[in-house]
Homo-oligomer: A and B are copies of this chain.
Amino acid sequence: MNEQTAPGRVGDVRRRNLSLVMDSIARTGDAKPSRAQLAAGTGLTKAAVSSLVADLVESGLVSEVGLYRDGERGRPGQGLELSARRGVVGMEINVDYLAVGLVDLGGNLRFHSTVESRNRGLAPEKVMERLGGLAAEAIAAAAAADISILGGGLAVPGLVDEQHNLVLSAPNLHWEHEKLNPQNLLEGAPLGVRLSNEANSAALGELWYGAGRPDFLYVSGEVGVGGGVIIGSELYTGPGGSAGELGHIVVHPDGPGCSCGGAGCLETFAGQEAIFEAAGIPEGSLGQRTELLLAALTAQEPRATQAVHDAGRYLGVALASSARLMDIEAVVLGGHFAVLAEWLRPSLISSLERYAPGLLDPSNLTVSTLEHSGTLLGAAGQVIRSVIESPFEFLLASKLA
Binding site for B on A (CB under 8 A): 1-3, 5-10, 12-17, 20, 23-24, 27-28, 31, 33, 37, 41-44, 48, 214-215, 227, 229, 231, 236-246, 248-253, 260-264, 313-314, 317-318, 320-322, 324-329, 354-358
Q: How far is the CA of A8 from the CA of B48 in the complex (A)?
A: 11
Most buried by B among A17, A24, A354, A355: A355
Contact of A215 among B231, B238, B328 (CB under 8 A): B238
* Given A238-B327, A240-B327, 16 other A-B residues pairs in contact with their CB atoms under 8 A: A1-B24, A1-B27, A1-B33, A5-B16, A7-B48, A8-B12, A8-B15, A229-B325, A238-B329, A239-B329, A246-B324, A249-B325, A250-B320, A253-B355, A260-B357, A262-B354
Contact B329 A240 (CB under 8 A): yes
Contacts of A236 in B (CB 8 A): 231, 326
Contacts of A15 in B (CB 8 A): 8
Q: How far is the CA of A214 from the CA of B321 in the complex (A)?
A: 23
Q: How far is the CA of A263 from the CA of B240 in the complex (A)?
A: 31
Contact B3 A43 (CB under 8 A): yes
Q: How many copies does the complex hold?
A: 2
Contact B7 A326 (CB under 8 A): no
Contacts of A320 in B (CB 8 A): 250, 262
Contact B262 A325 (CB under 8 A): no
Look across to chain B and name the residue whose beta carbon is closest to the beta carbon of A45.
Answer: B7
Minimum Cβ distance to chain B for residue A391 (Å): 13
Closest 10 CB pairs of A and B: A238-B327, A8-B16, A243-B327, A8-B13, A261-B357, A245-B324, A1-B41, A215-B239, A249-B321, A7-B43
A sample of 18 cross-chain residue pairs with beta-carbon separation below 8 angstroms, ordered by A number, consists of A3-B42, A7-B17, A7-B42, A8-B14, A8-B16, A238-B328, A240-B329, A244-B327, A245-B324, A245-B327, A250-B320, A250-B355, A250-B356, A253-B313, A253-B314, A261-B357, A262-B354, A318-B321
Contacts of A48 in B (CB 8 A): 7
